Structure 1
C-alpha cells in the first residue's frame, strides 16, 4: 500500500503544476520585459511581436498558476523572478550595469521568493473562494 493517499498525491501534483506554470509565467515575463526594451517603442517588428506573444503567454501561465496558488503569493513570486531575471539577462545580453548593491538586493528578493514558497499554505477550495466573492 502507498504511503500517501490518492487525494494527497493529487494535491501534490496540482501544486507542482501550479508552481511549474508560475515558473513558466516568470520566464515569459522576462522575455516580455527584455523584448519590450528591444522593440524601441514598438517601432521594430520582430521584438514587438515577441513582446506581445510573451506578454500573452506570461498572463496565461500566471492565470493557470493562480487556480491553485494564493494570488498574493503567485504575483510576488512572478514579479520577483521576473525582476531578477530581467536584470541578470539585461546585464549578460545587453551590457546593463550590475553593481554589488544591486546583487545584494536581488539576493533579498530571491530569499523572499524562497521564503514565500516554503511558507505558502493551502489555498482555499474553489467553492469556498466563490462563496466569498458572491454578492448577497
Structure 2
C-alpha cells in the first residue's frame, strides 16, 4: 500500500508544481488554493508512504516522479521546450526511480 500512497503523493506533487506556475506569484485565487491543497495532500500521502518505506527511498522517488511529471505536463500544457538532453536526463531519473524500487524489495530473513 505504501507504493500506492507514494504514487498518489507524486501526482499531487505534479499538480502542486504546475499550480505554482499558474498562481502568478499567488495573485490568482483559484490556482493558489489548488496549489496549497495539492501541497498539503502530497505531503499527507508521502507521510503515509513513509510509515513503511525508508525516507531516502520514498522522498527520492516522490521528487523524481514529481520532476519528470512536471516536465512532461509543463511541455504539454505550457509549451515548454523539450530537447534531447532533457529527455536523456529524464530517462536517467526514471532509471533511478526504478532502481530504488527494486532495491527496496524485502530480503528473505536469514535463518
Q: What does the per-residue CA deviation read over 1:55-95, in whole Å, with 9 as the maximum and x for residues that have no partner?
A: 00000000000000000000000000000000000000110
Q: Partner of 1:49 in structure 2?
A: 33
> How far apart are residue 119 of structure 1 and its match?
1.0
Q: Mind listing any 5+ residue stretches in structure 2 that lack a counterpart? A: 107-111
Q: Partner of 1:35 in structure 2?
A: 19
Match of 2:62 among 67, 72, 78: 78
Q: What does the per-residue CA deviation read over 1:32-63, in whole Å, with 9 as the maximum and x for residues that have no partner?
A: 00000100010001000000000000000000
> How far apart are residue 26 of structure 1 and its match?
0.2
TM-score (ref. length: structure 1): 0.77
Number of residues of Structure 1 aligned to a counterpart in Structure 2 = 106
> How far apart are residue 121 of structure 1 and its match?
4.2
Where relative contact order (Cα < 8 A, 6+ residues apart) is larger, the structure is 2
Query: Cα RMSD over matched residues?
Result: 0.7
TM-score (ref. length: structure 2): 0.94
Q: Specify the structure having the higher radius of gyration (Cα).
A: 1
Q: Mind listing any 5+ residue stretches in structure 1 that lack a counterpart? A: 1-16, 123-136
